[in-house]
Amino acid sequence: MRVAVIGTGYVGLTTAVSLAMNGHQVIGIDLVASKVEKLRQGISPIYEPGLEEALKKVLSDGALAFYTDLTEAKDAEIFFICVGTPEAADGTADLTYVLGAVSDMEKVHSFSPQERIVVIKSTVPVGTGEKVAGMLAGCQGVSVASNPEFLREGSALLDALEPSRIVIGVDNPQAAARMEELYNGVKAPRVITTRANAELIKYASNAFLATRISFMNELARLSTALGTDIVTISRGMGLDSRIGPQFLRAGVGYGGSCFPKDTIALLQLAAEHNIHLSILDKVREVNTTQPGWFLEQLCLQLPDLKGKQIAVLGLTFKPDTDDIREAPSLKLIEALLQKGASVKAFDPIGAPGVSKQFPQITYTQSAAEACEGAYAALLVTEWEQCVQLDWNQVHQSMVQPLLVDGRNAWPNQEVKEAGFHYIGVGRS
Ligand SMILES: NC(=O)c1ccc[n+]([C@@H]2O[C@H](COP(=O)([O-])OP(=O)(O)OC[C@H]3O[C@@H](n4cnc5c(N)ncnc54)[C@H](O)[C@@H]3O)[C@@H](O)[C@H]2O)c1
């Protein structure tokens, strides 16, 4: 099928590449000319394992092309909207980019009318599909579908090629059939439903995953007080098939471009309908306070941080991505600087992004280098390069052998044997 993908960020680029790999003829559109230029050369503007190689392949096969102007996609039968839906000042989802893309598409349709589907892949509040359908009511032959995305940064391409499920919200059987045709050959359970249900499935999924994380983070605080081991507790819980092992990991709090904004957007949507989602409210509260709780654990050992060098290992919101949006490292660095510490940070990919926000700290070429001369090392993102260290070497190079593990990823017994004082999140 002929497909246009509007917005070539994490979701749009992955969607465009995966659809091209699955045999469709795809055009990727982005407003940012420099991004389009890079993409045309087969350079991925984002770090995502396997994506650049796949991009080069589909470009050379002629299955994917990039433009800044949507009129280049005038023959497309399917228009995917994959633009950002950031948090507005009041916490609701800002739909400016989505509505901008819809009006771009409307113009294209006016001079090149045909049967087509506008598919909203961006995460949007319940009712957005309905609103967009209203905007496009005058466009003969156009249907509006909701097809939320569930990919995870760090394994985005694989997730797009082998999704856990495909959720399609439509208001007519013809559009459902066309969407089924688009995903023909992709093995995954289908949920064909209304647009509103599809929109809420996305928010509910993210809110539930965030809930699991905050539940474990709060439990980790209790585990610290009790002297129990949250990693063992999490394993013992996760083996229950009713619970499952995913998203039971305590840490410094969730970040990224989705959970923080999607949880507040869902709370706001509920409030508009006079419903208070009290559990979700607490989920956010625990997450907001978790970096502070983590730093308190450091300060119990090192009460005065003034003039002390602290190593911050890992900056991106999770490993295997360059995404630093809402990363806990940002809050931690800010708090450390406020307490007068000097920070040396390491991240294999994320340092250039963070250095724009914190030019005053030092960025090193390795985790070991960041630890040299440090009074404490904090593990914030569990990149392999931050986890697999030569502990004897690190021990010798630090002023004080204090490890504060924000991801429970360091080998606690091994580091203790190497002479470190180890503090984890809910484990010692
Ligand atoms: N990043 C994720 O892991 C993820 C996962 C699932 C869902 N989502 C959702 O998908 C949506 C996109 O997220 P993202 O992380 O890919 O965003 P992003 O910021 O990485 O990419 C958005 C892109 O859209 C472009 N854009 C904006 N308006 C445009 C227009 N009118 N025409 C052409 N291009 C335009 C921007 O230049 C940018 O390149 C959001 O709603 C997000 O919540 C994201």
CA distance 146 to 176: 10
In the residue annotation, 258 being an active-site residue is answered as yes
- Ligand 1 atom with least separation from CA of 148: 7
Measure the CA–CA gap between 345 and 370, rounded to whole angstroms: 6
Q: Which atom of ligand 1 is nearest to the CA of 323?
A: 1
Looking at the structure, do residues 37 and 103 belong to the same domain, yes or no?
yes
Cα of 215 vs centre of ligand 1, distance in Å, is 29
Instruction: Convert the pLDDT of each residue in 286-342 to its tens digit.
Output: 999 999 999 999 999 999 999 999 999 999 999 999 999 999 999 999 999 999 999
Task: Clarify whether residues 168 and 257 are in a common domain.
Answer: no
My answer on whether 172 and 275 are in the same domain is: no
- What pLDDT is stored for residue 239 in this prediction? 98
Q: For a pocket test of ligand 1, which of 6, 17, 29, 30 has the largest count of ligand atoms closer than 8 A to its C-beta?
A: 30
For ligand 1, the distance from its centroid to the CA atom of residue 45, given in whole angstroms, is 13
Residue that finishes a domain, picked among 193, 219, 238:
193
Same domain, 128 and 258: no
232 and 298 within one domain: yes
Residue 295 belongs to a domain: yes
Copy the structure tokens of residue 29: 């559109």
Cα of 13 from ligand 1 centre, angstroms: 9
pLDDT number for residue 69: 97
- CB-neighbour burial class of residue 277 (10 A; exposed 0-12, middle 13-18, buried 19+): middle
End position of a domain, from candidates 142, 170, 193:
193
Residues 53 and 120 in one domain: yes
Q: Please check whether residue 207 lies inside any domain of the structure.
A: no
How far does the centroid of ligand 1 lie from the alpha carbon of residue 121, in Å?
A: 9
234 belongs to a structural domain = yes
Burial class (CB in 10 A: 0-12, 13-18, 19+), 146: buried
Out of 79, 149, 167, 318, give the residue to mutate to test ligand 1, the one with the largest number of ligand atoms within 8 Å of its CB.
149
Q: Which atom of ligand 1 is nearest to the CA of 123?
A: 41
Same domain (yes/no): 50, 145: yes
- Write b or e for each residue in 193-221: b if 16 or more Cβ atoms lie within 10 A of its Cβ, otherwise e: bebbebbbbbbebbbebbbbbbbbbbbbb
- Is 211 inside a domain boundary? no
Q: Is residue 210 part of a domain?
A: no
Instruction: Note whether 180 and 288 are same-domain residues.
Output: no
Q: Which helix (H) or strand (E) holds 36?
A: helix 33-40
Annotate 364-398 with b (16+ C-beta within 10 A) or e (fewer).
beebbebbbebbbbbbbbbbebbbebebeebbebb
Q: Is residue 61 part of a domain?
A: yes
Active site residue: 258, 299, 371, 386, which one?
Answer: 258
Residue 319's pLDDT is what?
97
DSSP code at position 183: T
Task: Find, among 161, 95, 166, 157, the residue nearest to 132 by Cα.
Answer: 95
On whether both 125 and 267 belong to a single domain, the answer is no
**How many structural domains are present in the chain?**
2
Q: What average pLDDT values come out for the chain (428 residues) when binned by 10 residues?
A: 98 98 98 98 97 98 98 97 97 98 96 97 98 96 98 97 98 97 97 98 98 98 98 98 98 97 98 98 98 97 97 97 97 98 98 97 98 98 98 98 98 97 96
Residue 139: per-residue pLDDT: 96
Q: Are residues 94 and 163 in the same domain?
A: yes
Decide if 222 is inside a domain: no
Which CATH number fits the domain that encloses residue 364? Answer: 3.40.50.720
Residues with CB under 6 Å of ligand 1 are 6-12, 29-32, 35, 82-85, 97, 100-101, 104, 122-123, 149, 151, 153, 257-258
Domain assignment present for residue 204? The answer is no
pLDDT at 221: 98
Nearest to 336 by CA among 363, 307, 371: 307
H or E segment and range at residue 167: strand 166-169
**Across-strand partners of 377?**
311, 403
Assess whether 187 and 256 both reside in one domain. Answer: no
Same structural domain for residues 298 and 416?
yes
CA–CA dist 424, 412 (Å, integer)? 8
* Structural domain boundaries, residue 156: 2-193
Instruction: In whole angstroms, give the CA distance from residue 414 to residue 328.
Output: 26
Where does a domain end: 193, 220, 238? Answer: 193
| Distance of CA 370 from the midpoint of ligand 1 (Å) | 33
